[in-house]
Each structure stands twice: as structure tokens, then as C-alpha cells.
Chains A and B, each alone.
Chain A
Amino acid sequence: MNCDDLEKAISLYLYDELTAEERGALEGHVAGCEGCRAKLEESRRLHRVLSECPQPEPTPELLVRSRQALDDALDREQLGWRGLLRGWMWNFGAAPAPRLAAVLTLVLLGFGLGWTLRPRAKSLEPVAPRQTAASFFGTDPGDLRIRHISEVAPDPQSGGVRITLDAERRVTLEGSLDDPRIRQVLVDTMRGYDNPGIRRDTLEALRTHRDNPVVRAALLFAIRHDPNAGMRLEALGTVRGMEPGRDMQEALLGALEHDTNPGVRVAAVNALLQHAAEEGQDETVMPVLVKLAASDQNAYVRFQCQAAVRKMEGNE
């Protein structure tokens, strides 16, 4: 192995992608070549820096959102023209002639059988027990949103049919926000529902109970993690006036340091000022304000941070 070969081999060496023989050759060369030893050390340091750099991990909320969105997309896919077409293509697309003939025969037999059994359809109602139907559907079956049908089993003797399906039903919940179950539904909605309009209405409903610990946590979560900037601003507005605390300060600092929207960052500065006025200053706030007063990419945010620093220094 010469010095030119080594240049390329170093990356593979550090990623453990060399054979034992290649490793031996590289180590042998490095032992006797000062220049290459320095290169290897430099690459090792870069590798360490890259490895220490934290990698993003999907949050449980992201996983839930992704699963919900996929579920809806698959529903649309199943019910749309593409799903129907695929079903047909699957049956007929690559089918050899005998299979196609068999399928067509079955279809014709099906029609014939259906025609033969047609008069029996009248007996469906008396034979199928009313009680079962009522207990299954509860109210109007039109309320049901069918997600998946796993079995349709006709009974030629009775003329009835058994359908096994997964379905959702629209439900209306009414109750006081003092009811923890109602509160939990709202909190879950605010944390994970994908329609921002509904999340906004939910926040509005929760506003009166913002000092409840579960509601408080959901509001602080929204400040940091709601995907909609308008919602993050609303949440920031809602927590102002709430009981100050460490959790709130962390959420506000997080928004100030990481939010991509300058309006949210400005609102976070103001909320932090108010928090400091009520709770007293904390040593972690000032360094962040000083840093962003010099380095935030938005001029107005920098200006607001500078003003906040002056104000906090004046209070000291």
C-alpha cells in the first residue's frame, strides 16, 4: 500500500470496511510513514466529531402523526380508482389464459347463482335476528366509516350474510372540562391531531383550564413542537399569565433558540421577560439573550433580545 492508496483506504478503515489483509497493509504502512500517520489521526478526529454529533430521533408524536396520515392515505388508496384497478389487474393482469377462463367462469357462475337465489333475498329480514343487527349497529349504520372488511360470508340456507369489519363511528362527546376524560381527549387532540384549525379550537377550549398540570404540559409542548407557527404563537399567548416555573422557562428558551419563525421568537422573548419579572431572573436566560442579540439571523429578533438584555440588566 502506498500513500495514494491510503488516502482512500482510511475512510474504509475507520468504518471497518477493510478486509483483515487490507487492514494489516494499512497499519503496516502507517507505522512507517509519518505523513500518513498524521492523516489517519486527523481522519480519526473528524470521525469522532461526526460520531459525537447527535442524530435526530423520531419523536413518538411524529410516529403517531405519520401512522395516522399513512392510514388515511391507504384508505383513500383502497377506495379510489387505483385500488379498484389494482384489484382487477391483480386478478387479470398477468393471468395465463386458463386462469382467466377459470375466473370468468366463476364470475358467470356467481351471476347465475345470484339470479337463482334472488327470490330468497326477501327472507333476509325475518331470518337475520333483529336483535343482533340492532346490537351491532347501535344507531344508523350510515354513521359507520368502514376501514377494513375481513370477511363476507353469505349463508345460502338462510339467505343472510355475516360481515366482519373494522369500522369507526362518529361520536359526540359533551361534558365539562372538569371531567378528566374530556380534558384528556382535548389534550391528545392538541398534541397529535393533524388539522391545525381543530387544534386551535381545542387550545381555545383548554384556555380556561391552563393551570391544570396536564393542560399546562400540553400547552408547553405546543410551544415547542406544534408544526403550525400560528398555533405556537397562540400557545405562547396562552401561557403568559400562567404560574411561572422551570418547565415554562425551558419551553420559552427552546422556542427562542430553535423556532424557525421570527414572530414566535419575538413572542418568546417577551414571554421570557414577563416570566423573569414574576419569577426572578435565572442564570440560564441571560446568556441565551446575549448570544441571540448578536447572532440571530433576524434583525428584529436581535433588536428585541438587545432590549430585553438592557431591561434585565436594569432590573438587577
Chain B
Amino acid sequence: MVDGACLELVGKTEISRQGEAEAERGLIRRAQRGDRAAFDALVRRYDQEVLRMTLRMVRSEVEAQDLYQEVFLKVYRSLGQFRLEARFSTWLYRVVTNVCFDHLRQQKTRSEVPARETAEGELDYAGTLADDRPGLNPERALQAREISRRLEAALGRLSPRERVVFELKHCQGMRLRAIGEFCGTSEEAAKNSLFRAVQKLREELGDLV
């Protein structure tokens, strides 16, 4: 009886998921025909996650906002080439990864110091963190800020590829197989990048453990 109920529930969930996917395909078709409202609706489905990803990759609100815009403009420009049999989310996250990767690579080439220390009008992202994480204990909050600062400096030492793989794995919790797909590389290469990233972080933050 219970099994039957469970099966029914799983079936309903599957149906609603299929309905959701079909609704999304409908939006994509309309957006491909130039329907701006459909494109806006598509953006709203994913934009919070995209903004979170870009913010965590670059750790600067100003840059995250620019990257968010670049991602969706790219999607808008190339949506006509998207094939409906593929998963839109996979395609979108590949665009996000490429945009962040290019940005980090350019930043590395220009040998910029972290934007947070130089850019005028930069927001302090630490101020946007949820209050409940370090708790209200000032000592822990101070310690968390110090670790954040050290981590940020350590992340600056990673290559753009290592940085992207680490952020997607550690912060977004994605599987390495998917990360390899987003980065246009193999799962094995993503594993190597993660390994190198963790090695470098250990060298930088070893005294904290």
C-alpha cells in the first residue's frame, strides 16, 4: 500500500517535472522567435543562480553584475542556435563558465590586484553574508573574516581553470563530470584541476589547519 502510494508520488513528480521541462521548451521556442517576454521569463528562472555563481567566481558585486549581463546577452544572441533536444540549464551554465573563465584569464593577464582592494566604489561582499554563519560571536565573526580574506588571497593564486573548477565543486557542489562538460573538458581534466587547486590552497592556508 505504502509502496503503491510512493510509486504514485514518484509518478506525479515525474509528470510535473516533464510538464516543467515542456513549459521551458515552450518559452525557449517563443524566445527564439523573438518574444522578449518569453526570454525575460527564461532569465527569471535561472538568473539568481547565475548571479550567485558569478559573484562566487569573482567575489566582487560590480564584476558579478557585469558578468551576469554578459552571460544573458550571449544567451540572447545565440539562442537561435540552441537545439531543443539539449538541456537548457547545461547550455546556460556552460556559457556562465566560459564567461567567468575568460574574465579570470583576462584579469590574470592584466595581473590585476584583487578588485576589492583597488576599485573605487566596490561593495564589500563580506557585508552581504548571512549573519547566522559565524553566529553573533564577535570572535568567531572576526576569525571568519580573517579566513575569508586569506582564502580570497589564496584563490587569487589559482589558474583561471583551477579557480573555476574549485568554485563549481566547492561552492556550487556540482559533480566533476558536469564541471568537465561546462568547461569543455574531460572529467579527468577537471579532477586534475581540482587536485591542483586544493594543493595550492593547502600551501596557502596550511597554518590554519
Total chain A interface residues with beta-carbon distance under 8 A? 54
Additional A-B contact list (16), CB under 8 Å, known A71-B40, A259-B124: A12-B191, A15-B176, A17-B175, A42-B209, A46-B202, A54-B133, A56-B59, A57-B55, A62-B55, A66-B51, A69-B65, A77-B73, A86-B77, A166-B37, A227-B121, A229-B121
B182 at interface, CB cutoff 8 A = no
A228 at interface, CB cutoff 8 A = yes
A210 at interface, CB cutoff 8 A = no
Cβ contact within 8 Å between B129 and A62: no
Given contacts A77-B73, A258-B127, A260-B119, contact A56 B55 (CB under 8 A): yes
A176 at interface, CB cutoff 8 A = no
Interface locus among B7-15, B16-24, B84-92, B193-201 = B193-201
Q: What chain B residues lie within 8 Å of A65 (beta carbons)?
A: 65
Cβ contact within 8 Å between B195 and A56: no
A81 at interface, CB cutoff 8 A = no
- CA A70 to CA B70, docked complex, whole Å: 9
- CA A87 to CA B33, docked complex, whole Å: 9
A11 at interface, CB cutoff 8 A = yes
Q: What chain B residues lie within 8 Å of A15 (beta carbons)?
A: 169-170, 176, 194
Q: A-B pairs with the 6 shortest C-beta distances?
A: A258-B124, A45-B209, A56-B125, A54-B133, A54-B129, A148-B36
Chain A nearest CB, measured from B141 CB (Å):
10
Given contacts A55-B171, A58-B55, A74-B76, contact A284 B138 (CB under 8 A): yes
- CA A69 to CA B70, docked complex, whole Å: 11
For B130, give the chain A residue with the smallest CB separation: A57
Total chain B interface residues with beta-carbon distance under 8 A? 62
Q: Which of B37, B76, B123, B127 is the one whose CB lies under 8 Å from A227?
A: B123
Q: What chain B residues lie within 8 Å of A281 (beta carbons)?
A: none
Chain B nearest CB, measured from A273 CB (Å):
21
- CA A147 to CA B51, docked complex, whole Å: 24
Q: What chain B residues lie within 8 Å of A58 (beta carbons)?
A: 48, 51-52, 55, 61, 64, 128
Interface SS of B by simple majority: helix
For A76, give the chain B residue with the smallest CB separation: B73
A202 at interface, CB cutoff 8 A = no
B181 at interface, CB cutoff 8 A = no
Q: What chain B residues lie within 8 Å of A11 (beta carbons)?
A: 194-195, 198
B3 at interface, CB cutoff 8 A = no
Q: Which of A56, A70, A224, A226 is the one whose CB lies under 8 Å from B129?
A: A56
Chain B nearest CB, measured from A262 CB (Å):
11
Q: What chain B residues lie within 8 Å of A70 (beta carbons)?
A: 43, 47, 68-69, 72-73
Q: What chain A residues lie within 8 Å of B138 (beta carbons)?
A: 284, 287
Q: What chain A residues lie within 8 Å of B80 (beta carbons)?
A: 86, 90
B34 at interface, CB cutoff 8 A = yes
Chain B nearest CB, measured from A72 CB (Å):
9
A49 at interface, CB cutoff 8 A = yes
For B187, give the chain A residue with the smallest CB separation: A17
Given contacts A73-B73, A224-B127, contact A8 B195 (CB under 8 A): yes
Cβ contact within 8 Å between A260 and B116: yes
Cβ contact within 8 Å between A63 and B148: no
Q: What chain B residues lie within 8 Å of A284 (beta carbons)?
A: 138
Q: Which of A46, A73, A86 is the one whose CB lies under 8 Å from B209?
A: A46
